[in-house]
């Protein structure tokens, strides 16, 4: 576990804290709290606009706050270098360390991060820009995509209004600092932006005369006011044990799949880059949903974004994956009717026919009886087929979960009853229909169960 020699863990910090935080950034400090150095950027235009992000606590979505771009420094990384790296990753703005002024301010904070009480020392740099520029979220991590709601350029009036509405702004002194810098500019003085509540909390921790047994740990609630609801030294809370399941966010019903996953007891995150996937199953994702869309477009986007080969590797390594409609096509080892040169992920020993049920106008709904999916005659599963494929042949080890009963006209004949439309092979699940659109999450229940079983192995 990363810690300094002789450092004693604070009672408010769970024993497995190092599994919840990035060990490259966080170390157990002398006060017993995980500690990291961080750098942030105050990007300010000539018109007085400031670049800010707004996010929420994934464990408490009602808890929201406004903040500047920035983050933790890598081991041995210079603060200015880390500041411009974080700025590029979070906003797409690329500048050199020499373009920054400062640090113009420092801040020590006690905060909750990934459900762990932590301590952070921040250096804030000033970046002056002639005008607001376009922003890009392509570099966001899976955590940032899950927790950050928006980013943009704020006017002084926007910031003032947010404060009047009682919205949390970090650091607390940011509105006044922005107004000062937009007016007279930076005077060369490094300001201390430590919040008063944090300063009070940090005092006993910095005092070597206070033994660990007397470190402040309140009974249940935060010692801070309702205006600042983040916990200071909370009673240790339960670790979020839900599996983290990504939803490939290139096309399709990303929001609907995410809601169905939440209803099924999983934590859903959007996946838009190879970085979001991680290098091995369980590192960033416990499972992945490949939603519907247009399979040729999706395979092209996977290749263009450098995700095709990493995802093939993860599936081969045992990452549970569920593909609906176009996702079923991508998970097939063999595809009939594929475009020339089209790439697939593979993994399920089956032959799938693209657009087997016909064109968009041939889309239809059917009640399926599929005991393996929890659907019987009294409680059938409403399946929505939109330019859907079907399974022509299921190979060895492929479990057939559902077939059509009546169906609609296919491309080569009037009858399609008895077509295979749901299969499973090991940790891979595929359906020709869209279970996410009707509010019935029985298929997602099955997949979350498969992911949970894979985590236990």
What are the boundaries of each domain within the chain? 16-214, 244-456
pLDDT category at 163 given cuts 50, 70, 90 is: confident
Determine if the pTM surpasses 0.75. no
82 is in an annotated binding site: no
Whether 369 shows a pLDDT value over 50: the answer reads yes
Write down the catalytic residue from 118, 122, 144, 434: 434
Tens digits of residue pLDDT in 74-89: 888 999 999 999 999 9
382 is in an annotated binding site: no
Tens digits of residue pLDDT in 267-321: 888 888 888 888 889 888 999 999 988 888 888 889 988 999 999 999 999 999 9
Catalytic residue list contains 122: no
pLDDT category at 255 given cuts 50, 70, 90 is: confident
Reply yes or no: is the peptide bond before residue 401 cis, omega within 30 of 0.
Answer: no
Task: Pick the closest to residue 26 from 15, 14, 10, 38 (CA basis).
Answer: 38
Tens digits of residue pLDDT in 55-71: 876 655 667 789 999 98
Q: Among the CATH numbers 3.50.50.60, 3.90.79.10, 3.30.420.40, 3.40.50.620, which is that of 16-214?
A: 3.90.79.10
CATH architecture of the domain 244-456 equals 3-Layer(aba) Sandwich (3.40)
354 is in an annotated binding site: yes
Write down the catalytic residue from 325, 366, 441, 444: 325
Quote the tokens at residue 82: 């880390």
Segment 20-26 shows an average pLDDT of 78
Catalytic residue list contains 118: no
Which pLDDT does position 130 carry in this prediction?
Answer: 93
Which pLDDT does position 113 carry in this prediction?
Answer: 64
Write down the catalytic residue from 90, 436, 441, 444: 436
Segment 22-29 shows an average pLDDT of 81
Segment 119-123 shows an average pLDDT of 89
Tens digits of residue pLDDT in 88-108: 999 999 999 999 999 999 988
Return mean pLDDT, the chain: 81
Whether 443 shows a pLDDT value over 90: the answer reads yes
**H or E element: which one contains 408?**
none
Residue 301 to residue 305: CA distance in whole angstroms: 6
294 is in an annotated binding site: yes
Residue 323 vs residues 122, 157, 221, 429, 431: alpha-carbon distances, Å? 43, 46, 43, 6, 6
Which pLDDT does position 197 carry in this prediction?
Answer: 62
Segment 162-168 shows an average pLDDT of 84
Given a contact cutoff of 8 angstroms between Cβ atoms, the answer to whether 233 and 12 are in contact is: yes
Provide the Cα torsion 271, 275, 277, 283; round to 10°.
-130
Looking up tokens 């983050």 gives 71
pLDDT category at 26 given cuts 50, 70, 90 is: confident
pLDDT category at 236 given cuts 50, 70, 90 is: very low
- Adjacent-strand bridge partners of 422: 402, 431
Residue 220, φ and ψ in degrees, nearest 5: -135, -50
Q: Which residue has the higher pLDDT, 262 or 407?
A: 262
Share of the chain above pLDDT 90, in %: 38
What is the 3 state secondary structure string of 140-192?
Answer: CCHHHHHHEEEEEEECHHHHHHHHHCCCEECCCCHHHHHHHHHHCCCCCCCEE
Quote the tokens at residue 48: 């007085």
407 is in an annotated binding site: no
Q: Is 270 helix (H, G, I), strand (E, B) or coil?
A: strand
Count of other CB atoms within 10 angstroms of residue 371: 10
Which pLDDT does position 420 carry in this prediction?
Answer: 93
Catalytic residue list contains 434: yes
Half-sphere exposure of 28 (CA within 13 A, CB side): 20
DSSP for 313-350, please give it.
Answer: HHHHTT--EEEETHHHHHHEEEEETPPTT------EEE
- Counted residue by residue, the chain has a size of 457
pLDDT category at 49 given cuts 50, 70, 90 is: very high
293 is in an annotated binding site: yes
């Amino acid at each position: 576990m990363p810690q300094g020699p002789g450092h004693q863990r604070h009672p408010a910090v769970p024993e497995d804290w190092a599994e919840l935080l990035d060990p490259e950034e966080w170390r157990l400090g002398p006060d017993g709290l995980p500690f990291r150095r961080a750098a942030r950027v105050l990007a300010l235009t000539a018109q007085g606009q400031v670049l800010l992000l707004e996010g929420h606590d994934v464990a408490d979505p009602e808890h929201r706050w406004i903040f500047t771009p920035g983050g933790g420094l890598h081991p041995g990384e210079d603060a200015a270098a880390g500041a411009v790296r974080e700025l590029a990753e979070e906003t797409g703005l690329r500048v050199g360390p020499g373009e920054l002024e400062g640090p113009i301010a420092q801040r020590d904070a006690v905060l909750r991060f990934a459900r762990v009480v932590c301590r952070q020392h921040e250096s804030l740099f000033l970046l002056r820009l002639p005008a607001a520029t376009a922003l890009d979220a392509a570099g966001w991590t899976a955590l940032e995509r899950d927790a950050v709601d928006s980013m943009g350029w704020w006017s002084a009036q926007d910031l003032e209004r947010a404060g009047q509405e009682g919205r949390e702004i970090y650091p607390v002194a940011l509105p006044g600092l922005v107004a000062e810098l937009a007016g007279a500019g930076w005077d060369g003085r490094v300001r201390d932006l430590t919040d008063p509540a944090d300063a009070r909390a940090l005092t006993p921790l910095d005092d070597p005369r206070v033994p660990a047994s007397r470190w402040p740990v309140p009974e249940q609630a935060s010692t801070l006011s309702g205006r600042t609801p983040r916990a200071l030294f909370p009673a240790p809370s339960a670790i979020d044990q839900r599996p983290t399941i990504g939803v490939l966010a290139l096309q399709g019903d990303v929001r609907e799949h995410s809601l169905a996953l939440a209803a099924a007891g999983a934590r859903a995150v959007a996946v838009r880059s190879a970085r979001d996937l991680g290098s091995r199953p369980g590192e960033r994702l416990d499972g992945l949903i490949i939603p519907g869309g247009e399979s040729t477009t999706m395979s092209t986007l996977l290749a263009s974004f450098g995700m095709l080969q990493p995802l093939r590797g993860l599936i081969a390594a045992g990452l549970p994956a569920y593909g609906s409609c176009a996702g079923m096509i991508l998970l097939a080892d063999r595809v009939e009717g594929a475009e020339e040169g089209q790439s697939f992920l593979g993994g399920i020993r089956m032959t799938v026919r693209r657009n087997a049920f016909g064109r968009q106008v041939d889309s239809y709904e059917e009640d399926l009886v599929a005991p393996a999916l929890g659907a019987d005659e009294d409680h059938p599963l409403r399946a929505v087929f939109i330019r859907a494929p079907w399974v022509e042949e299921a190979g060895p080890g492929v479990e057939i979960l559902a077939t059509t009963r009546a169906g609609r006209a296919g491309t080569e004949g009037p009858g399609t009853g008895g077509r295979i439309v749901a299969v499973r092979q090991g940790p891979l699940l595929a359906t020709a229909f869209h279970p996410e659109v009707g509010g019935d999450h029985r298929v997602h229940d099955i997949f979350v169960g498969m992911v949970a079983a894979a985590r236990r192995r």
